[in-house]
Amino acid sequence: MKQPTRPELSGSFGMVSATHWLAASSAMAMLERGGNAFDAAVCGGLVLQVVEPHLNGPGGEVPILAYRHAQREVSVINGQGPLPAGATITGVRDLGLTQVPGTGLLPACVPGAFGAWMLLLEDYGRLPLEDVMAPAIGYAMKGFRLLPRAATTIRANEELFRNSWTSSGEVYLDNGTAPSGGKIWRNQTLGRTYERILREAKSVGRSRERQIEKARFAYYSGFVAEAIDEFVASASVIDDSGEAHGGFLDGSDLANWTAGIEKPLHLDYKGVRVFKTGPWGQGPVFLQQLKILEGFDLSTIDPYSAEFVHLVIESAKLALADRDSYYGDPLHVDVPMEELLSETYNQKRRKMISNEASHEFRPGSPSGYEPWRPNFEYVGVNSNTPASGAPPDPIGRDTCHLDVVDSEGNMVAATPSGGWLHGGPCVPGLGFSLSTRGQMFWLDDRSPSAFIGGRRPRTTLSPTFVLDQSENAVAFGTPGGDQQDQWSFNFFLRRLHFDMDIQSAIDAPTFHTSHLFSSFYPRIVQLGRIHVESRFGRDVINRLREMGHDVVEAEPWSLGRVCAVGKAGLELVAGSDPRQDQAYSVGR
Protein backbone atom coordinates (compact mmCIF):
# COMPACT_ATOMS: atom_id res chain seq x y z
CA MET A 1 0.00 0.00 0.00
CA LYS A 2 1.53 3.29 -1.12
CA GLN A 3 1.76 6.30 1.19
CA PRO A 4 -0.95 8.91 0.54
CA THR A 5 0.02 12.35 -0.74
CA ARG A 6 -1.66 14.04 2.21
CA PRO A 7 -3.32 12.80 5.39
CA GLU A 8 -6.95 11.85 5.68
CA LEU A 9 -8.47 14.72 7.67
CA SER A 10 -10.15 13.78 10.93
CA GLY A 11 -12.27 15.73 13.40
CA SER A 12 -15.68 15.98 15.04
CA PHE A 13 -17.05 19.44 14.13
CA GLY A 14 -17.38 19.37 10.35
CA MET A 15 -15.66 18.46 7.08
CA VAL A 16 -15.78 19.83 3.54
CA SER A 17 -14.13 18.53 0.39
CA ALA A 18 -14.36 20.46 -2.88
CA THR A 19 -12.63 20.82 -6.22
CA HIS A 20 -11.59 24.38 -5.32
CA TRP A 21 -10.06 25.51 -2.04
CA LEU A 22 -12.14 28.70 -1.87
CA ALA A 23 -15.37 26.71 -2.10
CA ALA A 24 -14.18 24.37 0.64
CA SER A 25 -13.14 27.19 2.97
CA SER A 26 -16.31 29.20 2.29
CA ALA A 27 -18.50 26.18 3.05
CA MET A 28 -16.54 25.58 6.26
CA ALA A 29 -17.16 29.19 7.25
CA MET A 30 -20.90 28.49 7.17
CA LEU A 31 -20.44 25.64 9.63
CA GLU A 32 -18.48 27.99 11.87
CA ARG A 33 -21.38 30.48 11.71
CA GLY A 34 -23.74 27.84 13.09
CA GLY A 35 -25.03 26.54 9.80
CA ASN A 36 -25.48 22.89 8.94
CA ALA A 37 -24.12 20.80 6.06
CA PHE A 38 -26.89 22.04 3.76
CA ASP A 39 -26.15 25.73 4.34
CA ALA A 40 -22.47 25.00 3.80
CA ALA A 41 -23.11 23.14 0.54
CA VAL A 42 -25.20 26.00 -0.87
CA CYS A 43 -22.51 28.53 -0.04
CA GLY A 44 -19.76 26.33 -1.52
CA GLY A 45 -21.85 25.65 -4.62
CA LEU A 46 -22.36 29.36 -5.30
CA VAL A 47 -18.65 30.03 -4.83
CA LEU A 48 -17.79 27.28 -7.33
CA GLN A 49 -19.89 29.13 -9.92
CA VAL A 50 -17.59 32.14 -9.53
CA VAL A 51 -14.13 30.57 -9.14
CA GLU A 52 -14.51 27.68 -11.63
CA PRO A 53 -16.37 29.33 -14.54
CA HIS A 54 -14.84 26.87 -17.02
CA LEU A 55 -16.42 24.00 -15.06
CA ASN A 56 -19.83 25.33 -14.00
CA GLY A 57 -21.87 28.49 -13.65
CA PRO A 58 -25.18 30.02 -12.55
CA GLY A 59 -26.70 28.91 -15.87
CA GLY A 60 -25.81 25.26 -15.28
CA GLU A 61 -27.27 22.33 -13.38
CA VAL A 62 -26.62 20.23 -10.27
CA PRO A 63 -27.87 16.93 -8.84
CA ILE A 64 -27.60 16.88 -5.04
CA LEU A 65 -27.80 13.96 -2.61
CA ALA A 66 -28.88 15.22 0.82
CA TYR A 67 -28.85 13.05 3.96
CA ARG A 68 -30.71 14.20 7.06
CA HIS A 69 -29.27 12.14 9.88
CA ALA A 70 -32.14 12.72 12.33
CA GLN A 71 -34.65 11.30 9.85
CA ARG A 72 -32.20 8.68 8.45
CA GLU A 73 -33.35 9.89 5.03
CA VAL A 74 -31.52 10.33 1.73
CA SER A 75 -33.13 12.59 -0.87
CA VAL A 76 -32.25 13.71 -4.37
CA ILE A 77 -32.54 17.41 -5.11
CA ASN A 78 -33.20 17.53 -8.85
CA GLY A 79 -31.32 20.50 -10.26
CA GLN A 80 -31.36 19.25 -13.86
CA GLY A 81 -33.49 21.53 -15.99
CA PRO A 82 -35.32 20.10 -19.02
CA LEU A 83 -35.22 20.93 -22.70
CA PRO A 84 -37.36 23.93 -23.64
CA ALA A 85 -40.98 23.04 -24.42
CA GLY A 86 -40.57 24.08 -28.05
CA ALA A 87 -37.51 21.92 -28.75
CA THR A 88 -38.06 19.28 -31.45
CA ILE A 89 -35.98 16.82 -33.43
CA THR A 90 -37.40 18.24 -36.67
CA GLY A 91 -36.43 21.75 -35.62
CA VAL A 92 -32.77 20.69 -35.42
CA ARG A 93 -32.72 18.33 -38.40
CA ASP A 94 -34.25 21.02 -40.62
CA LEU A 95 -31.04 22.97 -40.02
CA GLY A 96 -29.12 20.20 -41.74
CA LEU A 97 -27.69 18.78 -38.50
CA THR A 98 -27.37 15.12 -37.52
CA GLN A 99 -26.29 15.87 -33.94
CA VAL A 100 -27.15 18.52 -31.39
CA PRO A 101 -24.14 20.87 -31.21
CA GLY A 102 -22.21 20.98 -27.97
CA THR A 103 -22.04 24.77 -27.82
CA GLY A 104 -24.22 27.76 -28.62
CA LEU A 105 -27.95 28.17 -28.02
CA LEU A 106 -29.52 25.09 -29.66
CA PRO A 107 -28.57 22.78 -26.75
CA ALA A 108 -29.60 25.27 -24.04
CA CYS A 109 -31.74 23.74 -21.29
CA VAL A 110 -33.50 25.40 -18.37
CA PRO A 111 -30.79 26.35 -15.83
CA GLY A 112 -31.45 24.18 -12.80
CA ALA A 113 -28.58 24.89 -10.42
CA PHE A 114 -29.87 28.08 -8.79
CA GLY A 115 -33.29 26.60 -8.13
CA ALA A 116 -31.78 23.45 -6.64
CA TRP A 117 -29.48 25.37 -4.31
CA MET A 118 -32.40 27.55 -3.16
CA LEU A 119 -34.56 24.50 -2.51
CA LEU A 120 -31.80 22.88 -0.46
CA LEU A 121 -31.33 26.09 1.53
CA GLU A 122 -35.05 26.62 2.18
CA ASP A 123 -36.05 23.07 3.10
CA TYR A 124 -32.86 21.77 4.71
CA GLY A 125 -30.74 24.74 5.82
CA ARG A 126 -31.14 27.34 8.56
CA LEU A 127 -28.86 30.30 7.77
CA PRO A 128 -30.11 33.53 6.16
CA LEU A 129 -29.84 33.89 2.38
CA GLU A 130 -27.44 36.82 2.70
CA ASP A 131 -24.96 34.75 4.71
CA VAL A 132 -24.68 31.97 2.15
CA MET A 133 -24.52 34.32 -0.86
CA ALA A 134 -21.96 36.73 0.59
CA PRO A 135 -18.75 34.76 -0.22
CA ALA A 136 -19.70 34.24 -3.87
CA ILE A 137 -20.58 37.92 -4.26
CA GLY A 138 -17.35 38.89 -2.53
CA TYR A 139 -15.13 36.84 -4.85
CA ALA A 140 -17.00 38.04 -7.95
CA MET A 141 -16.69 41.70 -6.97
CA LYS A 142 -13.28 41.79 -5.24
CA GLY A 143 -11.51 39.05 -7.19
CA PHE A 144 -9.68 35.76 -6.78
CA ARG A 145 -6.67 34.07 -8.33
CA LEU A 146 -7.70 32.71 -11.76
CA LEU A 147 -6.95 29.03 -12.23
CA PRO A 148 -4.46 28.22 -15.01
CA ARG A 149 -6.98 25.88 -16.67
CA ALA A 150 -9.62 28.60 -16.65
CA ALA A 151 -7.13 30.97 -18.27
CA THR A 152 -6.29 28.31 -20.88
CA THR A 153 -9.99 27.92 -21.67
CA ILE A 154 -10.44 31.65 -22.12
CA ARG A 155 -7.31 31.87 -24.28
CA ALA A 156 -8.54 29.03 -26.52
CA ASN A 157 -11.73 31.02 -27.12
CA GLU A 158 -10.13 34.47 -27.29
CA GLU A 159 -10.81 35.04 -30.99
CA LEU A 160 -14.38 33.74 -30.69
CA PHE A 161 -15.02 36.05 -27.73
CA ARG A 162 -13.48 39.02 -29.51
CA ASN A 163 -15.24 38.62 -32.86
CA SER A 164 -18.46 36.66 -32.29
CA TRP A 165 -19.42 35.97 -28.70
CA THR A 166 -18.79 39.59 -27.79
CA SER A 167 -20.89 39.46 -24.60
CA SER A 168 -18.39 36.85 -23.33
CA GLY A 169 -15.52 39.05 -24.44
CA GLU A 170 -16.86 41.84 -22.24
CA VAL A 171 -16.73 39.52 -19.23
CA TYR A 172 -13.62 37.42 -19.83
CA LEU A 173 -11.22 39.54 -21.92
CA ASP A 174 -9.12 42.38 -20.60
CA ASN A 175 -9.03 45.02 -23.35
CA GLY A 176 -9.51 42.23 -25.89
CA THR A 177 -6.85 39.95 -24.40
CA ALA A 178 -7.23 36.74 -22.42
CA PRO A 179 -6.08 36.96 -18.78
CA SER A 180 -3.21 34.81 -17.56
CA GLY A 181 -3.45 32.10 -14.94
CA GLY A 182 -2.70 33.27 -11.43
CA LYS A 183 -3.95 36.78 -12.09
CA ILE A 184 -6.44 38.31 -9.67
CA TRP A 185 -9.60 38.23 -11.72
CA ARG A 186 -13.14 39.52 -11.20
CA ASN A 187 -16.53 38.90 -12.75
CA GLN A 188 -18.28 41.99 -11.49
CA THR A 189 -21.15 41.56 -13.97
CA LEU A 190 -22.03 38.29 -12.25
CA GLY A 191 -21.41 39.88 -8.86
CA ARG A 192 -23.95 42.61 -9.64
CA THR A 193 -26.45 39.98 -10.80
CA TYR A 194 -26.22 38.19 -7.47
CA GLU A 195 -26.27 41.49 -5.58
CA ARG A 196 -29.52 42.41 -7.32
CA ILE A 197 -31.06 39.00 -6.59
CA LEU A 198 -30.17 39.45 -2.92
CA ARG A 199 -31.40 43.05 -2.86
CA GLU A 200 -34.75 42.05 -4.33
CA ALA A 201 -34.96 39.12 -1.92
CA LYS A 202 -34.39 41.36 1.10
CA SER A 203 -37.07 43.78 -0.11
CA VAL A 204 -39.81 41.40 1.08
CA GLY A 205 -38.81 41.72 4.72
CA ARG A 206 -36.84 39.63 7.20
CA SER A 207 -38.58 36.29 6.66
CA ARG A 208 -35.95 33.76 5.60
CA GLU A 209 -38.42 31.69 3.60
CA ARG A 210 -39.91 34.69 1.80
CA GLN A 211 -36.45 35.96 0.90
CA ILE A 212 -35.46 32.64 -0.62
CA GLU A 213 -38.73 32.47 -2.56
CA LYS A 214 -38.20 36.01 -3.84
CA ALA A 215 -34.64 35.14 -4.93
CA ARG A 216 -36.00 32.19 -6.84
CA PHE A 217 -38.64 34.44 -8.45
CA ALA A 218 -35.98 36.99 -9.48
CA TYR A 219 -34.10 34.26 -11.31
CA TYR A 220 -36.90 32.26 -12.91
CA SER A 221 -39.60 34.90 -13.48
CA GLY A 222 -37.91 38.22 -12.83
CA PHE A 223 -34.99 40.15 -14.32
CA VAL A 224 -32.74 37.10 -14.90
CA ALA A 225 -35.39 35.21 -16.86
CA GLU A 226 -36.26 38.36 -18.79
CA ALA A 227 -32.63 38.87 -19.84
CA ILE A 228 -32.34 35.22 -20.93
CA ASP A 229 -35.61 35.39 -22.86
CA GLU A 230 -34.60 38.58 -24.68
CA PHE A 231 -31.14 37.27 -25.54
CA VAL A 232 -32.19 33.86 -26.92
CA ALA A 233 -35.10 35.39 -28.85
CA SER A 234 -32.84 37.81 -30.68
CA ALA A 235 -29.49 36.02 -30.95
CA SER A 236 -27.99 33.73 -33.59
CA VAL A 237 -24.55 32.51 -32.53
CA ILE A 238 -21.77 30.35 -33.92
CA ASP A 239 -21.73 26.86 -32.41
CA ASP A 240 -19.80 23.59 -32.86
CA SER A 241 -21.41 23.01 -36.25
CA GLY A 242 -19.53 26.03 -37.61
CA GLU A 243 -22.82 27.79 -38.38
CA ALA A 244 -24.84 30.37 -36.48
CA HIS A 245 -28.09 29.24 -34.88
CA GLY A 246 -30.63 30.50 -32.41
CA GLY A 247 -32.19 28.49 -29.60
CA PHE A 248 -35.51 27.23 -28.22
CA LEU A 249 -35.28 28.49 -24.62
CA ASP A 250 -37.61 31.28 -23.53
CA GLY A 251 -38.88 32.93 -20.38
CA SER A 252 -41.89 30.63 -20.03
CA ASP A 253 -39.58 27.61 -19.82
CA LEU A 254 -37.91 29.12 -16.78
CA ALA A 255 -41.15 30.30 -15.18
CA ASN A 256 -42.78 26.86 -15.54
CA TRP A 257 -39.91 24.93 -13.93
CA THR A 258 -39.11 24.32 -10.29
CA ALA A 259 -36.48 22.14 -8.67
CA GLY A 260 -37.89 19.04 -7.01
CA ILE A 261 -37.13 16.45 -4.37
CA GLU A 262 -37.07 12.79 -5.43
CA LYS A 263 -36.37 9.44 -3.86
CA PRO A 264 -32.97 8.04 -4.81
CA LEU A 265 -32.31 4.64 -6.28
CA HIS A 266 -30.35 2.35 -3.99
CA LEU A 267 -28.69 -1.05 -3.95
CA ASP A 268 -27.45 -3.17 -1.06
CA TYR A 269 -23.94 -4.52 -1.61
CA LYS A 270 -21.63 -6.32 0.83
CA GLY A 271 -23.22 -4.81 3.94
CA VAL A 272 -23.67 -1.23 2.69
CA ARG A 273 -26.44 0.61 0.90
CA VAL A 274 -25.43 2.75 -2.09
CA PHE A 275 -27.62 5.69 -3.18
CA LYS A 276 -27.71 7.32 -6.63
CA THR A 277 -30.02 9.47 -8.76
CA GLY A 278 -32.56 7.94 -11.12
CA PRO A 279 -31.85 7.14 -14.78
CA TRP A 280 -32.14 10.81 -15.82
CA GLY A 281 -28.53 10.64 -14.66
CA GLN A 282 -25.99 7.94 -15.33
CA GLY A 283 -25.79 7.05 -11.61
CA PRO A 284 -27.58 3.67 -11.88
CA VAL A 285 -24.58 2.45 -13.92
CA PHE A 286 -22.69 2.38 -10.61
CA LEU A 287 -25.40 0.22 -9.04
CA GLN A 288 -25.65 -2.19 -11.96
CA GLN A 289 -21.90 -2.60 -12.07
CA LEU A 290 -21.96 -3.57 -8.40
CA LYS A 291 -24.69 -6.10 -9.15
CA ILE A 292 -22.61 -7.63 -11.94
CA LEU A 293 -19.51 -7.83 -9.73
CA GLU A 294 -21.44 -9.28 -6.81
CA GLY A 295 -20.67 -12.74 -8.15
CA PHE A 296 -16.90 -12.22 -7.87
CA ASP A 297 -14.77 -12.17 -4.73
CA LEU A 298 -12.94 -8.91 -5.39
CA SER A 299 -11.24 -8.95 -1.99
CA THR A 300 -9.02 -11.83 -3.14
CA ILE A 301 -7.73 -9.94 -6.20
CA ASP A 302 -4.81 -7.50 -6.02
CA PRO A 303 -6.36 -4.04 -6.66
CA TYR A 304 -3.21 -3.02 -8.54
CA SER A 305 -3.26 -6.04 -10.86
CA ALA A 306 -4.29 -6.38 -14.50
CA GLU A 307 -6.89 -8.97 -13.48
CA PHE A 308 -8.62 -6.47 -11.19
CA VAL A 309 -8.61 -3.70 -13.81
CA HIS A 310 -9.91 -6.12 -16.45
CA LEU A 311 -12.81 -7.33 -14.32
CA VAL A 312 -13.91 -3.82 -13.37
CA ILE A 313 -13.58 -2.56 -16.95
CA GLU A 314 -15.55 -5.43 -18.48
CA SER A 315 -18.40 -4.98 -16.00
CA ALA A 316 -18.39 -1.24 -16.75
CA LYS A 317 -18.73 -1.89 -20.49
CA LEU A 318 -21.88 -3.94 -19.91
CA ALA A 319 -23.51 -1.46 -17.56
CA LEU A 320 -22.62 1.50 -19.78
CA ALA A 321 -24.07 -0.25 -22.85
CA ASP A 322 -27.36 -0.56 -20.95
CA ARG A 323 -27.08 3.12 -20.04
CA ASP A 324 -26.74 4.11 -23.68
CA SER A 325 -29.66 1.92 -24.75
CA TYR A 326 -32.22 2.42 -21.97
CA TYR A 327 -31.63 5.51 -19.82
CA GLY A 328 -33.75 8.63 -20.14
CA ASP A 329 -36.08 10.84 -18.15
CA PRO A 330 -38.35 8.37 -16.26
CA LEU A 331 -41.09 11.02 -16.16
CA HIS A 332 -41.42 10.61 -19.94
CA VAL A 333 -40.05 7.17 -20.91
CA ASP A 334 -40.29 3.69 -19.47
CA VAL A 335 -36.82 2.78 -18.15
CA PRO A 336 -36.69 -0.89 -17.02
CA MET A 337 -34.66 0.02 -13.94
CA GLU A 338 -35.92 -2.72 -11.67
CA GLU A 339 -35.02 -5.33 -14.27
CA LEU A 340 -31.63 -3.73 -15.02
CA LEU A 341 -30.69 -4.03 -11.34
CA SER A 342 -32.14 -7.49 -10.79
CA GLU A 343 -30.08 -10.55 -9.92
CA THR A 344 -31.66 -12.62 -12.70
CA TYR A 345 -30.70 -10.13 -15.40
CA ASN A 346 -27.20 -9.42 -14.10
CA GLN A 347 -26.42 -13.09 -13.64
CA LYS A 348 -26.69 -13.30 -17.44
CA ARG A 349 -24.58 -10.16 -17.87
CA ARG A 350 -21.96 -11.53 -15.48
CA LYS A 351 -21.52 -14.65 -17.59
CA MET A 352 -20.56 -12.50 -20.56
CA ILE A 353 -17.27 -11.51 -18.91
CA SER A 354 -14.35 -13.63 -20.08
CA ASN A 355 -10.57 -13.36 -19.82
CA GLU A 356 -10.52 -11.49 -23.12
CA ALA A 357 -11.42 -7.83 -23.56
CA SER A 358 -14.67 -7.24 -25.42
CA HIS A 359 -14.64 -4.94 -28.44
CA GLU A 360 -18.41 -5.10 -29.00
CA PHE A 361 -21.22 -2.78 -27.97
CA ARG A 362 -23.38 -5.25 -26.00
CA PRO A 363 -26.56 -3.89 -24.44
CA GLY A 364 -28.77 -6.53 -22.88
CA SER A 365 -32.45 -7.34 -23.34
CA PRO A 366 -34.38 -7.20 -20.07
CA SER A 367 -37.62 -9.15 -20.34
CA GLY A 368 -40.02 -7.38 -22.66
CA TYR A 369 -37.52 -4.80 -23.84
CA GLU A 370 -35.30 -4.48 -26.88
CA PRO A 371 -32.29 -2.15 -26.73
CA TRP A 372 -32.20 1.05 -28.70
CA ARG A 373 -28.86 1.31 -30.47
CA PRO A 374 -27.23 4.64 -31.35
CA ASN A 375 -26.54 5.12 -35.04
CA PHE A 376 -22.85 4.46 -35.69
CA GLU A 377 -23.15 6.51 -38.88
CA TYR A 378 -23.15 9.75 -36.92
CA VAL A 379 -20.31 9.10 -34.48
CA GLY A 380 -16.59 8.48 -34.74
CA VAL A 381 -15.84 4.81 -34.10
CA ASN A 382 -12.39 3.92 -32.69
CA SER A 383 -11.22 7.38 -33.63
CA ASN A 384 -10.58 10.77 -32.14
CA THR A 385 -12.76 12.36 -34.82
CA PRO A 386 -16.49 11.76 -35.38
CA ALA A 387 -17.99 10.70 -38.67
CA SER A 388 -19.19 14.28 -39.22
CA GLY A 389 -15.56 15.43 -39.46
CA ALA A 390 -15.91 17.97 -36.66
CA PRO A 391 -12.84 18.15 -34.41
CA PRO A 392 -13.15 17.04 -30.80
CA ASP A 393 -13.42 19.72 -28.14
CA PRO A 394 -9.81 20.83 -27.41
CA ILE A 395 -10.71 21.78 -23.83
CA GLY A 396 -13.45 19.40 -22.77
CA ARG A 397 -16.67 19.90 -20.87
CA ASP A 398 -15.64 19.31 -17.28
CA THR A 399 -17.32 19.60 -13.91
CA CYS A 400 -16.74 20.26 -10.20
CA HIS A 401 -17.77 18.55 -6.98
CA LEU A 402 -18.53 19.33 -3.33
CA ASP A 403 -19.13 17.19 -0.22
CA VAL A 404 -20.01 18.29 3.33
CA VAL A 405 -20.63 16.55 6.67
CA ASP A 406 -21.53 18.33 9.91
CA SER A 407 -21.38 17.36 13.58
CA GLU A 408 -25.05 16.29 13.50
CA GLY A 409 -24.25 13.70 10.84
CA ASN A 410 -25.99 15.54 7.99
CA MET A 411 -24.24 15.03 4.66
CA VAL A 412 -24.31 16.41 1.12
CA ALA A 413 -22.78 15.21 -2.14
CA ALA A 414 -23.26 17.56 -5.10
CA THR A 415 -21.84 17.68 -8.64
CA PRO A 416 -22.45 21.13 -10.17
CA SER A 417 -21.73 21.55 -13.87
CA GLY A 418 -22.80 23.26 -17.08
CA GLY A 419 -23.06 26.89 -18.00
CA TRP A 420 -19.41 26.65 -19.02
CA LEU A 421 -17.79 29.88 -20.16
CA HIS A 422 -16.90 28.13 -23.44
CA GLY A 423 -20.32 26.48 -23.84
CA GLY A 424 -22.10 29.55 -25.11
CA PRO A 425 -21.97 33.33 -25.04
CA CYS A 426 -22.67 35.14 -21.78
CA VAL A 427 -26.19 36.46 -21.44
CA PRO A 428 -25.69 40.25 -21.74
CA GLY A 429 -25.86 41.97 -18.38
CA LEU A 430 -25.83 38.74 -16.33
CA GLY A 431 -22.21 37.60 -16.56
CA PHE A 432 -22.85 33.90 -17.16
CA SER A 433 -23.55 31.42 -19.96
CA LEU A 434 -26.42 28.95 -20.34
CA SER A 435 -26.39 25.20 -19.93
CA THR A 436 -25.68 23.20 -23.09
CA ARG A 437 -26.73 19.88 -21.60
CA GLY A 438 -29.11 19.37 -24.54
CA GLN A 439 -26.17 17.98 -26.52
CA MET A 440 -26.74 14.72 -24.63
CA PHE A 441 -29.99 14.04 -26.47
CA TRP A 442 -30.21 12.08 -29.72
CA LEU A 443 -32.03 13.23 -32.85
CA ASP A 444 -33.95 9.94 -32.98
CA ASP A 445 -37.47 9.72 -31.59
CA ARG A 446 -36.96 6.01 -30.86
CA SER A 447 -34.24 6.81 -28.34
CA PRO A 448 -35.12 6.96 -24.64
CA SER A 449 -33.03 10.15 -24.71
CA ALA A 450 -34.73 11.71 -27.73
CA PHE A 451 -34.50 15.49 -28.22
CA ILE A 452 -38.08 16.28 -27.20
CA GLY A 453 -39.17 19.38 -25.30
CA GLY A 454 -39.84 19.03 -21.58
CA ARG A 455 -37.52 16.09 -21.03
CA ARG A 456 -34.46 16.12 -18.79
CA PRO A 457 -31.23 15.18 -20.54
CA ARG A 458 -29.60 11.94 -19.39
CA THR A 459 -26.82 13.73 -17.58
CA THR A 460 -23.41 12.35 -16.58
CA LEU A 461 -23.49 14.16 -13.22
CA SER A 462 -23.41 11.54 -10.50
CA PRO A 463 -22.81 12.12 -6.77
CA THR A 464 -22.80 9.05 -4.51
CA PHE A 465 -23.82 8.37 -0.91
CA VAL A 466 -23.10 5.15 1.01
CA LEU A 467 -24.54 4.13 4.37
CA ASP A 468 -23.79 1.04 6.43
CA GLN A 469 -25.83 -0.71 9.14
CA SER A 470 -23.99 1.16 11.90
CA GLU A 471 -24.90 4.47 10.24
CA ASN A 472 -21.34 5.11 9.18
CA ALA A 473 -21.48 6.96 5.88
CA VAL A 474 -19.45 8.44 3.05
CA ALA A 475 -20.41 11.03 0.42
CA PHE A 476 -18.25 11.37 -2.67
CA GLY A 477 -18.00 12.18 -6.34
CA THR A 478 -15.75 13.49 -9.08
CA PRO A 479 -15.80 15.60 -12.21
CA GLY A 480 -15.18 13.72 -15.43
CA GLY A 481 -18.25 13.32 -17.65
CA ASP A 482 -18.63 9.69 -18.71
CA GLN A 483 -15.79 8.78 -16.33
CA GLN A 484 -17.54 9.98 -13.17
CA ASP A 485 -19.08 6.64 -12.30
CA GLN A 486 -15.82 4.90 -13.15
CA TRP A 487 -13.33 6.91 -11.10
CA SER A 488 -15.72 7.12 -8.13
CA PHE A 489 -16.45 3.39 -8.51
CA ASN A 490 -12.74 2.58 -8.23
CA PHE A 491 -12.57 4.74 -5.09
CA PHE A 492 -15.54 2.90 -3.58
CA LEU A 493 -14.10 -0.57 -4.24
CA ARG A 494 -10.79 0.33 -2.61
CA ARG A 495 -12.56 1.64 0.48
CA LEU A 496 -14.90 -1.32 0.86
CA HIS A 497 -12.85 -4.29 -0.25
CA PHE A 498 -9.33 -3.22 0.69
CA ASP A 499 -9.96 -1.11 3.80
CA MET A 500 -8.19 1.98 2.47
CA ASP A 501 -8.84 5.29 4.16
CA ILE A 502 -10.39 8.05 2.08
CA GLN A 503 -7.14 9.71 1.05
CA SER A 504 -5.36 6.47 0.17
CA ALA A 505 -8.32 5.34 -1.94
CA ILE A 506 -8.30 8.68 -3.79
CA ASP A 507 -4.54 8.62 -4.36
CA ALA A 508 -4.34 5.07 -5.72
CA PRO A 509 -3.65 4.84 -9.48
CA THR A 510 -6.88 4.72 -11.44
CA PHE A 511 -8.34 3.83 -14.84
CA HIS A 512 -11.45 4.01 -17.03
CA THR A 513 -12.85 2.86 -20.35
CA SER A 514 -14.06 4.95 -23.30
CA HIS A 515 -15.92 1.88 -24.65
CA LEU A 516 -19.19 3.84 -24.67
CA PHE A 517 -21.08 6.42 -26.68
CA SER A 518 -19.71 9.72 -25.43
CA SER A 519 -22.43 11.80 -23.83
CA PHE A 520 -20.91 14.93 -25.32
CA TYR A 521 -20.73 16.30 -28.83
CA PRO A 522 -19.31 14.93 -31.10
CA ARG A 523 -20.33 11.56 -29.51
CA ILE A 524 -17.16 9.58 -30.18
CA VAL A 525 -17.10 5.86 -29.26
CA GLN A 526 -13.82 3.97 -28.78
CA LEU A 527 -14.57 0.27 -28.56
CA GLY A 528 -12.10 -1.73 -26.50
CA ARG A 529 -10.13 1.31 -25.35
CA ILE A 530 -9.07 1.83 -21.75
CA HIS A 531 -7.04 4.58 -20.11
CA VAL A 532 -4.66 3.52 -17.34
CA GLU A 533 -2.41 5.72 -15.23
CA SER A 534 1.22 4.74 -15.84
CA ARG A 535 1.74 4.26 -12.09
CA PHE A 536 0.25 0.79 -12.49
CA GLY A 537 3.59 -0.22 -13.97
CA ARG A 538 4.85 -1.75 -17.19
CA ASP A 539 3.97 -5.37 -16.29
CA VAL A 540 0.32 -4.54 -15.60
CA ILE A 541 -0.06 -2.45 -18.75
CA ASN A 542 1.56 -5.14 -20.91
CA ARG A 543 -0.68 -7.79 -19.37
CA LEU A 544 -3.78 -5.71 -20.14
CA ARG A 545 -2.69 -5.47 -23.76
CA GLU A 546 -2.21 -9.24 -23.84
CA MET A 547 -5.82 -9.56 -22.64
CA GLY A 548 -6.93 -7.61 -25.70
CA HIS A 549 -7.40 -4.11 -24.31
CA ASP A 550 -6.56 -1.09 -26.44
CA VAL A 551 -4.55 0.63 -23.70
CA VAL A 552 -3.84 4.35 -23.58
CA GLU A 553 -1.09 4.91 -21.03
CA ALA A 554 -2.09 8.05 -19.15
CA GLU A 555 0.19 10.39 -17.23
CA PRO A 556 0.89 9.31 -13.63
CA TRP A 557 -1.57 11.67 -11.89
CA SER A 558 -4.03 12.57 -14.63
CA LEU A 559 -7.29 10.62 -14.18
CA GLY A 560 -9.97 11.73 -11.76
CA ARG A 561 -10.59 14.43 -9.17
CA VAL A 562 -12.42 12.56 -6.41
CA CYS A 563 -13.64 14.42 -3.32
CA ALA A 564 -15.09 12.65 -0.29
CA VAL A 565 -16.23 13.11 3.30
CA GLY A 566 -17.27 10.46 5.77
CA LYS A 567 -18.63 9.69 9.21
CA ALA A 568 -17.51 6.79 11.39
CA GLY A 569 -19.16 6.94 14.79
CA LEU A 570 -18.40 10.40 16.18
CA GLU A 571 -15.40 10.86 13.93
CA LEU A 572 -15.71 12.90 10.73
CA VAL A 573 -13.17 12.39 7.93
CA ALA A 574 -12.36 13.89 4.53
CA GLY A 575 -9.99 13.63 1.60
CA SER A 576 -9.42 15.32 -1.76
CA ASP A 577 -7.63 14.58 -4.98
CA PRO A 578 -4.12 15.97 -5.54
CA ARG A 579 -4.62 15.68 -9.30
CA GLN A 580 -4.75 19.08 -11.07
CA ASP A 581 -3.59 20.86 -7.91
CA GLN A 582 -6.82 22.56 -6.86
CA ALA A 583 -9.07 20.27 -4.80
CA TYR A 584 -8.87 20.69 -1.03
CA SER A 585 -10.48 19.39 2.13
CA VAL A 586 -10.90 21.39 5.30
CA GLY A 587 -12.33 20.55 8.68
CA ARG A 588 -11.86 20.31 12.41
How far is residue 195's CA from residue 69's CA, in Å, rounded to a whole number? 33
Contact between residue 466 and residue 267 where contact means Cβ atoms under 8 Å apart:
no
The beta strand positions in 339-435, using DSSP E, are 402-406, 411-414
Candidates 53, 224, 225; CA nearest to 149 is 53
Its pTM stands at 0.96
Candidates 225, 201, 229, 227; CA nearest to 214 is 201
- What is the DSSP code string of 208-242? HHHHHHHHHHHHHTSHHHHHHHHHHHH--EE-TTS
Contact between residue 162 and residue 176 where contact means Cβ atoms under 8 Å apart:
yes
How far is residue 52's CA from residue 231's CA, in Å, rounded to a whole number? 24
Candidates 350, 325, 347; CA nearest to 336 is 325
List % helix, strand, coil for the chain (3-state, nearest 5).
Answer: 35, 20, 45
Candidates 129, 72, 63, 44; CA nearest to 408 is 72
Candidates 280, 252, 261; CA nearest to 337 is 280
**Tens-digit pLDDT string for the chain (588 aa):** 578 899 999 999 999 999 999 999 999 999 999 999 999 999 999 999 999 999 999 999 999 999 999 999 999 999 999 999 999 999 999 999 999 999 999 999 999 999 999 999 999 999 999 999 999 999 999 999 999 999 999 999 999 999 999 999 999 999 999 999 999 999 999 999 999 999 999 999 999 999 999 999 999 999 999 999 999 999 999 999 999 999 999 999 999 999 999 999 999 999 999 999 999 999 999 999 999 999 999 999 999 999 999 999 999 999 999 999 999 999 999 999 999 999 999 999 999 999 999 999 999 999 889 999 988 776 755 655 444 434 334 455 689 999 999 999 999 999 999 999 999 999 999 999 999 999 999 999 999 999 999 999 999 999 999 999 998 999 999 999 999 999 999 999 999 999 999 999 999 999 999 999 999 999 999 999 999 999 999 999 999 999 999 999 999 999 999 999 999 999 999 999 999 889 999 999
Using the 8-state DSSP alphabet, how is residue 339 labeled? H
Contact between residue 297 and residue 307 where contact means Cβ atoms under 8 Å apart:
no
